[in-house]
Amino acid sequence: MVTSQLIKNVTFLGYADAKEADDPFKAAYEVARLCAQKGYTIVNGGGPGVMKASTMGAKSANGKAIGVTFFPKDIPVFEGRDETNKVDHLIVVENYLERTLKLLELGHIYVIFNGGTGTISEFGMAWGLARLYFGHHKPLVLYGDFWQEIIFAFTKGMYIRAEERNVFRIVNKPQDALDAILEFEKKLTSANHEHEKPIFSI
């Protein structure tokens, strides 16, 4: 179990269309399992793919999962709620933007897997918030070597500040993802004791 109370919830973001045989699904399952073993609660979008995988991984270690969803009337391509994603607590919001903000609000750290435009938007918001609140931000764990090329493209073509490179870690193994979470938590604990101010802002 975790000894610190700074990080309680880990939000999982990634590909909604991932199947159980796909690498993102298997990776999310295993990372969530390891997180649950350490006492972290898993947060996801209540849908299929990486979201479902993270719930399944948490459950395999007797952990808890929180889902955040909404029920749109006019978004035919939204993956929506997956009833086979057996979260312990489901939060229903009004729209996609509120869903994204709630996922970011609930998580104290984010693990982001391969995905599509939805994942890109979530990553961009999480990264931007981490830069804005640098020093008492919510860190990102980027899962997969492909992130190296993405970050390189951003730093080459965009105006990326130095601190924006310090709010994330890129990993390619489940244990490395957990180790990154534990490392971030250790740093946050140290910063909390040093500055005596709220750690997380959004």
At the top level of CATH, which class does the domain 9-195 belong to? Answer: alpha beta
Cα(3)–Cα(7) distance, integer angstroms: 10
Strand residue runs (E) in the chain? 9-13, 41-44, 65-69, 89-92, 109-112, 140-143, 168-171
Residues 148 and 138 sit within 8 Å (Cβ to Cβ) = no
Torsion of CA 9, 200, 165, 68, to 10 degrees: 40
Q: How far apart are CA 152 and CA 32, in angstroms?
A: 27
Enumerate the β-bridge partners of residue 65: 42
pLDDT at 135: 83
Tens digits of residue pLDDT in 48-84: 999 999 999 999 999 999 999 998 877 766 777 889 9
> CB–CB of 9/66 below 8 Å?
yes
DSSP assignment letter at 85: S
Is pTM beyond 0.85? Reply is yes
Which pLDDT does position 116 carry in this prediction?
A: 94
pLDDT of residue 200: 57
Judged by average pLDDT, the poorest of 26-35, 36-45, 187-196 is 187-196
Q: Where are the domains of the chain?
A: 9-195
Residue 1 pLDDT: 45
Q: How far is CA 86 from the centre of its chain?
A: 18
Q: Parallel, antiparallel, or unpaired: how do β-strands 89-92 and 109-112 relate? A: unpaired
**How would you classify the pairing of strands 109-112 and 140-143?**
parallel
pLDDT reading at 192 higher than 90: no
